[in-house]
Amino acid sequence: MSTTRAAVERYLSALNDHDADAVAACVTADFVNEHTSARGTSRVGRDAYRAALPVFLDRFADLHYGVEDVLVDGDRAAVAYRMTSQWRDDDGRSHPVALRGVFRFRVTDGLIAHRVDYWDGADFERQVLR
């Protein structure tokens, strides 16, 4: 297995385990977490990313990224996924969510250096704002 694929699998496993420390341990100190959806929040740096993880993991209870496809080319990977969760709104109500998306990763020295996340914010809103 390639180093890139192993790094991506380790990262996704940590997310699926809801382990903020393990997730943060999978990324570089200068990690870039880029969201293309207006609903997403991009962050730069492992510390900023780690600080945001508890709220994200709480908001998206039972979070699970099911991998549909993985393409690896050297230090880059693309992962098509289906994310499921129970999203908690500001009033504490839970809403089932299922979104398809794609991650693009760049890996450096066995750690995720850059992640770009493509997902449909309008689809998310349709599911939680009913």
Supply the CATH number for residue 41's domain.
3.10.450.50
β-bridge partners, 100:
82
pLDDT, block means (10 residues), the chain with 130 residues: 93 97 98 83 92 93 96 98 94 93 97 95 87
Query: What's the domain range around 67?
Result: 3-128
Q: Of 64, 26, 59, which Cα lies nearest the Cα of 40? A: 59
∠ Cα 96 97 103 (to 5°): 155
What's the gap between Cα 33 and its chain centre? 9
- Residues 6 or more apart in contact with residue 32 via CB below 8 angstroms: 42, 43, 44, 113, 114, 115
Number of domains in the chain: 1
- Cα 109 to Cα 30, 35, 92, distances in angstroms: 13, 23, 40
Written as one letter, the residue type at 41 is T
pLDDT the model gives residue 39: 72
Position 97 scores a pLDDT of: 96
Q: How far apart are CA 76 and CA 73, in angstroms?
A: 5
| pLDDT score for 121 | 87
